[in-house]
Structure 1
Amino acid sequence: MREGKTAIEQPTLFDLPQTTWHTADEIDPFSLPRHPSDFYRRPDIEPPDDSNQGCLYFQIDHVSNIVLYVGETKLSARRRWLGSHDCKDYVLN
């Protein structure tokens, strides 16, 4: 850091009251299980929760260690990804 400059702390993107058993700051996308982009077509990959309670999902470039996309859905992940999806189009192209 240059002399005379102060460090900038990144605030949370989700300054919301806690309504679930996780807070946004507790979720580490890089430590979650990895799935291929066609997971929704593969019967051998069973989602941990298909109860339509909603979910967050992350598209990650593990080579560059960056999050490319953060999404959320009120549907199960499998049902959400079956149809047209901007993130799916981006990742597969």
Structure 2
Amino acid sequence: MNYQILTRNGDCLLSESAEGIREWMEEELVRKLDLFVILQENDDDEELEIYLHTDNYEDLSEEELAKLIELGISECNSLEAICQLLEITVIQ
């Protein structure tokens, strides 16, 4: 299944699978936060979920993890928080 990333103006930035959307978000988070964050995607129930991968606990400091949690990026579905941070919308 493909999803689209739209700007706040409605322009399409990308049309890609769940994995492609996750990879794009990881790259954008590096640019926005100057921090490499490993995300995980899931769209088993026909609804896209993006959340923090557990490997981050080995790679990031406690301060970096706290910053992500403060931004709403956690092991729970964080798609909405990431979209707000990157000023985008994801549609199916």
TM-score by length of 2: 0.27
Larger relative contact order (C-alpha < 8 A, sep ≥ 6)? 2
Structure with higher Rg: it is 1
